[in-house]
Structure 1
Amino acid sequence: MPTSRLLTAYRALERVPLGRSIFSQGYRFAAPYFRTIPARVESVEPGLAVAQMWHAPWVRNHLGGVHAIALCNLAELTMGAAAEATVPGTHRWIPQGMEVEYRAKAHGRMRATARIELPEPLVERQQVAVAIAIADRAGTEVLSGTIRIWVTARPPR
């Protein structure tokens, strides 16, 4: 199976100084809404992506913690990297729904992990669940959830 462009770019940049930061900036510009959070992609491989977000004033809620929607944005950013690295080029994907549970007050640096396992065989149209977990620096899970993506075969060109 050919490697996705996102995964190829990540693997090339992870080996150079500041490469992950350069990759993260490019990735965030591909989906401009991701620029609303201070996030960095830490690792990408088929089936798994990890990203971090630090606690900046513009992602703070009225209680001083990280805003719930900023956490959801981090979850979607991380899921997108995992899906892009996993779904083969013969198919495309789009988020279809998200269920999240806020488990604890989010404060400080957050680490998001997205895990995706494609069914075999991958058919023309199907829903795939991507598991999301976000933890704080102490390892306390602050958000858990699932983002459902709709995976379809690419039309012939």
Structure 2
Amino acid sequence: MSKSNQLSRAVASIQKLPASMHQFAMSKAFGSKIKYAGHSGVRFESLSNQECVVSIKNKKKVQNHIGGVHAAAMALLAETATGFVFGMNVPDDKLPLIKKMDIDYVKRSTGDMRAVATLTEEDIARIQSDERGEVTVPVIITDEANVEPIKASMTWAWTAKKR
């Protein structure tokens, strides 16, 4: 079973709101803390200890020169999804850090984008029990046509916070 931390407690308080308000409240709350994600319009669809689902609309502010979601916005989507599912499990006395981004752009995207990042029970147990370490978090990113225009994974690390 997952241990509670500051992020998971914030999500639990948002989940006390009516279900129709969850996405909006999470997107506003986390977008105000992670300014670039908020400015870019990243929307939180769901967040738990094992999975984070985020999306981004193909709007002008995140488009590239051919009208698709910009490569940097796709990377932001992958980092946000993996970072938040990882963050749901990092104890409050540990510092989460992104260590590596692996991204392969394989196809042109169509329309809006969606990312689903997941952690296994084994990964969660290590994050919560080991003093320091790292974990590679897989993420599946699809476009409006349900095609995977990029393949990505992010390696996140944790270590004790400096006092």
**TM, length-normalised to structure 1:** 0.87
Q: Percent identity?
A: 26
1:71 to 71, 74, 86: 74
Please list, as runs of the form range in 1=range in 2, the aligned pairs for 1:48-63 lying within 5 A after superposition.
Answer: 48-63=51-66
> Offset of 1:119 from its aligned partner?
6.5
Contact 2:53 2:117 in 1 (8 A): yes
Partner residue in 2 for 1:39:
42
What CA RMSD, in Å, does the superposition of the two structures yield over aligned residues? 2.0
Deviation at 1:12, TM superposition (A): 3.1
Q: Which has the higher helix share?
A: 2
Q: Deviations over 1:19-57 (max 9, x none)?
A: 321211110111112123121111111121011111000
Aligned residue for 1:135?
A: 142
Partner residue of 2:132 out of 125, 131, 135: 125
85-94 or 37-46, larger mean C-alpha shift: 85-94
Tell me which amino acid in the other structure corresponds to 1:95.
Answer: I
The residue number in structure 2 matching 1:151 is: 158
Q: Give the match for residue 105 of structure 1.
A: 108
Alignment of 1:17-36 (within 5 A): 17-36=20-39
User: Which segments of 5 or more consecutive residues in structure 1 lack a partner in the other structure?
Assistant: none
TM-score (norm 2): 0.84
Range with bigger deviation, 101-110 or 66-75: 101-110
Aligned length: 156
Tell me the distance in 1 between the aligned counterparts of 2:22 and 2:132: 35
After superposing the two structures, state which structure 1 stretch, 110-119 or 55-64, moved more. Answer: 110-119
Query: Counterparts of 1:154 and 1:51 in 2: how far apart (Å)?
Result: 28
